[in-house]
Amino acid sequence: MPQPAALIDSHAHLDDRKLASRQDEVLARAREAGVVTVVNIGADIPSSRASVELAHRESMVFAAVGVHPHDASDVDDAAMAELRRLAADERVVAVGESGLDFYRDLSPRDAQRDAFAQHLALADALGLPIVIHCRDAYEECLEVVRCERDAPVAGVLHCFQGDAAAARGALDLGLCIAVGGSITFPREEALRRVVAGLPLDRLLVETDAPYLTPRPRRGRNEPAYVRFVAQRLAQLLCVTGDRVAEATTANARSLFRLPHAVA
């Protein structure tokens, strides 16, 4: 029986309480599904620490460290100093996730913009890519990037759910675009039309596990299910699943400077 083409889940939260007690079995299923690497994303200081610890325990896991815009109000000098310390670890491949979330507005928008700018500056100082969270704020989010960084920007706009203008803006800045389970949802036909027009050499696939479980799966998401995202992406781009796997894996390895062989 042929082995499935290698895939990289470019964005997951294995330290989330829904998955933390099942990490071994979740990663075993990921390996069986052909996932060779998972980039585990920090969403606050504790989860960033947990992400680094997990990356040291599991050879297929690498870490990103950052504070989600929901918690931007907590980003002070001490938090940024701790993120700088964590980001210096050899298993850390990105800063984030950070950005703007004007859908829930759990932190004031000015605090979100300030925290995002500080994450961009940290990524720039350390020569790391930035993992960007953006919801209902694409124009504002890309403007912060333009003001803080010269293009091209090494980074990824994760869990993309924007329109064609947002996609063009991100690509013009040099960012990659990551798609997840949303492209499989029946109500997301407009998103699928946008994604169908994106260049494969700038795309990543992700799960955002344990969230956004792709169809036909239900319940808690996990990295093994990134294959369903890749399959739907292949249909949208009218290419083979192996071609999507090959390209998105190469893109993730290039962006995050990942090794080509992970045990």
Tens digit of pLDDT for each residue in 170-208? 999 999 999 999 999 999 999 999 999 999 999 999 999
The whole domain housing 193 covers 7-256
Is residue 1, in this structure, part of any structural domain at all? no
Residue 262 has pLDDT above 80, yes or no: no
- Per-residue pLDDT, 2: 64
Q: In sequence order, what are the residues at sequence separation of 6 or more whose Cβ sits closer than 8 angstroms to the Cβ of residue 201? A: 247, 251
Q: Where is 208: in which H helix or E strand?
A: none
What average pLDDT does the segment 209-228 reach? 97
CATH number of 232's domain: 3.20.20.140
Is residue 229, in this structure, part of any structural domain at all? yes
Residue 116 has pLDDT above 50, yes or no: yes
Is residue 78, in this structure, part of any structural domain at all? yes
Q: What's the chain's average pLDDT? A: 96
Is residue 48, in this structure, part of any structural domain at all? yes
The reported pTM is 0.96
Q: Could you tell me if residue 34 is left (phi over 0), alpha (psi between -120 and 50 degrees) or otherwise beta?
A: left
Percent helix, strand and coil across the chain, each rounded to 5?
50, 15, 35
Residue 263 has pLDDT above 60, yes or no: no
The stretches of 127-225 forming alpha helices (DSSP H) are 138-148, 164-172, 189-196
Is residue 125, in this structure, part of any structural domain at all? yes
CA distance 158 to 234: 18
Q: Could you tell me if residue 136 is left (phi over 0), alpha (psi between -120 and 50 degrees) or otherwise beta?
A: left
- Per-residue pLDDT, 24: 98
Stronger pLDDT, 5 or 245, i.e. the higher one: 245
pLDDT band of 88, cuts 50, 70, 90: very high
CA distance 35 to 144: 33
In percent, the amount of the chain with pLDDT more than 90 equals 95
Is residue 262, in this structure, part of any structural domain at all? no
With 0-12 / 13-18 / 19 or more C-beta atoms within 10 angstroms meaning exposed / middle / buried, residue 84 is: middle
With 0-12 / 13-18 / 19 or more C-beta atoms within 10 angstroms meaning exposed / middle / buried, residue 82 is: middle
> Of 163, 197, 200, which is closest to residue 178 (Cα–Cα)?
200
What average pLDDT does the segment 66-88 reach? 98
The b-or-e profile of 126-162 (16+ CB within 10 A means b, else e) is: eebbbbbbbbebbebbbebbeebbeeebbbbbbbbbb
- Per-residue pLDDT, 151: 87
Note the Cα 244 to chain centre separation in Å: 17
Q: Angle at the Cα of 212 (from 53 to 73), degrees rounded to 5?
A: 60
Q: Say how many domains are in the chain.
A: 1
Is residue 59, in this structure, part of any structural domain at all? yes
Helices 77-87 and 109-126, packing angle to 10 deg: 30
Is residue 261, in this structure, part of any structural domain at all? no
Q: What is the pLDDT of residues 144-155, one digit of tens each?
A: 999 999 889 999
